[in-house]
Structure 1
Amino acid sequence: MLPEGGTRDVWISDGRITFEPVEGARTLVPDGFLVPGLVDAHCHPGLGTGGAVTVAEAVRQARTDRDAGTLLIRDCGVPMDNRPLQQRADLPRIIRCGRHLSLPKRYIPGLGLELDHPDQLPAAVAAQAADGDGWVKLVGDWIDRSVGDLAALWPDDVLAEAVRVAHEAGARVTAHVFGEQALPGLVAAGIDCLEHGTGLGADLITELARLRIALVPTLINVLENFPGIADQASKYPTYAAHMRALHDGVLDMVAAAHEAGVPVYAGSDAGGLVAHGRVVDEIEALHRAGLPAEQALGAASWAAREWLGHPSLTEGAPADLLVLDEDPRQNLAALRHPRSIILRGRAVQGT
């Protein structure tokens, strides 16, 4: 049973884990490696390549994630109301983040809520905090076509006020950020998490570690899609070169963040350019970036669950788990072939 590594009998009663024998229980699997259900901490159930999708398509997306072992999703911003997915017992648990907060022409069209003026950000954050499940998503930077490169969206004082408002409402704040320019303001504002973070350098990595600011690097998205984004940006050669440089340095950046003690978590960025059901690809990418296999797995399982306030394999915890034939700490590819996936105490795949 991971992460402790011990061997013990586990029962499920009323959808929850117990270590006390349950009379009349049916044996689901006689042995195996138990892993707390996988976590995709940057996922977009409800987003497609053309923007918002139907509820039926969002259900299909979430089912694809579930069948890959993802049983907890931190929705990192979608342009549709995906609350109907939360009401279905056959789909992963979803922590809703609401809408991206951006400015006109400074993010993907139709995806975020576009504010007319930066000073509106604190009020918009308050509204998103009230409507979501404890997270608010900002667009920290995007291409500014007037300068031909990535540039920050928000003044530092506005960011600080927005984060303060979120924290007073009991919500945490995360931000999409690719380049270097926006990072100091986000960190100084007291942000809780950075998405992508490709522009992080040594000084800010040290600060993230000191402040325990989380990093979700979305490696498969960066590694697979940044070159194509650069190729399509021939009108903006400075931006294109910048995106290629960020791509080339991302594995070293994640390695440095991990070595410094920054909390790193797995997020596939599924939706849009990345297909759903790829959390294991992200775990393997974190391992390639220098995280030991057990820590790469924890970044998408027990460590991520603790960060998001969801228990793992403990007495009374919801029975959301994978049963594997092989120890995934020795072979991460074992995660691709679970003997059983158990969600809310019921097997949704396997025997």
Structure 2
Amino acid sequence: MTALTLKAAGLLDIDTGEIIRPGLLHIDGERITGVGGPATGDVLDLGDVILLPGFMDMEVNLLMGGRGETGLASSVTDDPALRMLRAVGNARRTLRAGFTTVRNLGLFVKTGGYLLDVALRKAIDAGWIEGPRIVAAGHAITPTGGHLDPTMFSAFAPDVLSLSVEEGIANGVDEVRKAVRYQIKHGADLIKVCVSGGVMSLTGAPGAQHYSDEELRAIVDEAHRRGLKVAAHTHGADAVRHAVDAGIDCIEHGFLLDDDAIDRMVEHGTWLVPTTRLADAMDVSKAAPALQAKAAEMFPRARTSVLAAYKAGVKIAVGTDAPAIPHGRNADELVALVERGIPALDVLRAATIRGAELIGVTDRGRLAPGQLADVIAVPDDPIADITVTRDVCFVMKGGKVHVQNR
């Protein structure tokens, strides 16, 4: 690669919130080398657009959803090879939407023990296929009948789609330790655990705690001793308190948070990935009446709990839970967070520098010298109008252009 200058109407300094005009960004290889000043090397004039750091989605599952998915039937009809082929399209759509880094948070499908998200990460890193940088969790760790037990969603009869400890179905301290160790052995970058029920749980209250405190502490101990963080699907306020006390690093969803749980998260520095767009976009009209009732209880609270957490000082990063909203529509979460009352600049930070902080990296999230050249462009000022993030017209990852629509 040769030296390159991106020229645009402006670029966002994510730290100050200033739109620097004009936007001149100097790139050499896969890194940003400078901001402003005279153009160097080849010049790529992008016209009247605003440059931003590549977005980060901290809650996706690229191995689920997308073209050809047949809902819950896919649990028993789709083999790992088919899922991987579908994931190629999901990864490409996510990158082309401007999301250059994601956390793939926990397989809960039959794979024969293979960590498909780790394989997808390797293929993308090798340049074989297009996709975002992936922080992979391997298989989600969940108890039998827990929210992330795929046999629970369809109420399968016994012995239909049996899953192993290696595939995340783990009960008791010894099994959860083994499940965590297996994910780490085969390349997981973090651990995902199911702490409570959810909207689509067929049994039990959506906020009910699924793992015992002893099991949660064992999961956290195994992960932290190996330098990995733990993310937890958790809705109920009491379950959040137990997760925080066990040392969980990040709460996913947190729809039923109360003031005490929020205070506990602030005290411990626990992250929240709120996935609040689900409360508007998830179609439960064809779900069982009991599940529709859960949604009617949880979704209104999801629209308010995230703002309460933000005001209290909880650290927030953007996540969508795609495919719960479609792959490639990830920016809808940014719009939803602004609609909840969070300032647009803080939402943009949650999608960039906060995401980088959550995954423990310092090489992305800003348009600054030394950073990876993960750069996107939108047609206007996203602080004034967050909806322009739905119209990404330029995507560069590591100095390579993947989208140039202008």
TM-score, length basis structure 2: 0.77
Distance 1:131 1:160 in 2: 22
Stretches of 4+ aligned residues off by more than 6 angstroms: 143-146
- Are residues 324 and 179 of structure 1, via their aligned partners in 2, closer, same or farther at CA, if it must alter by over 3 Å? same
Distance 1:29 1:22 in 2: 14
The structural deviation recorded for 1:100 is 0.7
1:217 to 251, 270, 274: 274
1:176-204 per-residue CA deviation (whole Å, 9 max, x = no partner) reads 12233422211110110011111210001
The DSSP-based 3-state class of the residue aligned with 2:256 is coil
Consecutive unaligned residues of structure 2, counting only runs of 5 or more, are 1-10, 66-70, 110-114, 152-160
**Letter of the aligned partner of 1:183 in structure 2?**
V
- Are residues 97 and 146 of structure 1, via their aligned partners in 2, closer, same or farther at CA, if it must alter by over 3 Å? closer
TM-score, length basis structure 1: 0.89
Is contact 1:227–1:247 with CA below 8 Å preserved after alignment? no
**Letter of the aligned partner of 2:137 in structure 1?**
C
Alignment of 1:220-299 (within 5 A): 220-225=277-282, 227-228=284-285, 232-234=287-289, 237=290, 241-271=293-323, 273-299=324-350
The DSSP-based 3-state class of the residue aligned with 1:77 is coil
| Aligned residue number for residue 320 of structure 1 | 374
Instruction: Report how many aligned residue pairs link the two structures.
Output: 345
The structural deviation recorded for 1:240 is 5.5
| Aligned residue number for residue 86 of structure 2 | 57
Distance 1:67 1:141 in 2: 33
Confirm whether residue 34 of structure 1 aligns to residue 51 of structure 2.
yes
Alignment of 1:1-351 (within 5 A): 1-2=11-12, 3=14, 4=16, 5=18, 6-7=20-21, 9-19=24-34, 24-29=41-46, 32-48=49-65, 49=71, 50-51=74-75, 53-78=82-107, 79=109, 81-86=116-121, 87-88=123-124, 89=127, 90-106=130-146, 107-109=149-151, 113-117=168-172, 119-142=174-197, 150-225=207-282, 227-228=284-285, 232-234=287-289, 237=290, 241-271=293-323, 273-308=324-359, 309=361, 310-311=363-364, 312-350=366-404
Is contact 2:118–2:187 with CA below 8 Å preserved after alignment? no
- Are residues 222 and 99 of structure 1, via their aligned partners in 2, closer, same or farther at CA, if it must alter by over 3 Å? farther
**Letter of the aligned partner of 1:18 in structure 2?**
T
The structural deviation recorded for 1:30 is 5.8
The structural deviation recorded for 1:222 is 3.4
**Letter of the aligned partner of 1:46 in structure 2?**
L
The structural deviation recorded for 1:28 is 4.0
Distance 1:342 1:226 in 2: 33
- Are residues 221 and 162 of structure 1, via their aligned partners in 2, closer, same or farther at CA, if it must alter by over 3 Å? same
**Letter of the aligned partner of 2:261 in structure 1?**
L
- Are residues 317 and 147 of structure 1, via their aligned partners in 2, closer, same or farther at CA, if it must alter by over 3 Å? closer
**Letter of the aligned partner of 1:16 in structure 2?**
R
Is contact 2:197–2:235 with CA below 8 Å preserved after alignment? yes
**Matched residues, percent identical?**
27
The DSSP-based 3-state class of the residue aligned with 1:279 is coil
The DSSP-based 3-state class of the residue aligned with 2:51 is strand
Is contact 1:118–1:155 with CA below 8 Å preserved after alignment? no
- Are residues 339 and 277 of structure 1, via their aligned partners in 2, closer, same or farther at CA, if it must alter by over 3 Å? closer
What is the alpha-carbon root mean square deviation over aligned residues? 2.6
Distance 2:171 2:314 in 1: 35
Consecutive unaligned residues of structure 1, counting only runs of 5 or more, are none
The DSSP-based 3-state class of the residue aligned with 1:171 is coil
| Aligned residue number for residue 156 of structure 2 | none
The structural deviation recorded for 1:117 is 3.6
The structural deviation recorded for 1:148 is 6.3
Distance 1:156 1:73 in 2: 29
Is contact 2:32–2:372 with CA below 8 Å preserved after alignment? yes
Distance 1:224 1:326 in 2: 25
Is contact 2:317–2:358 with CA below 8 Å preserved after alignment? no
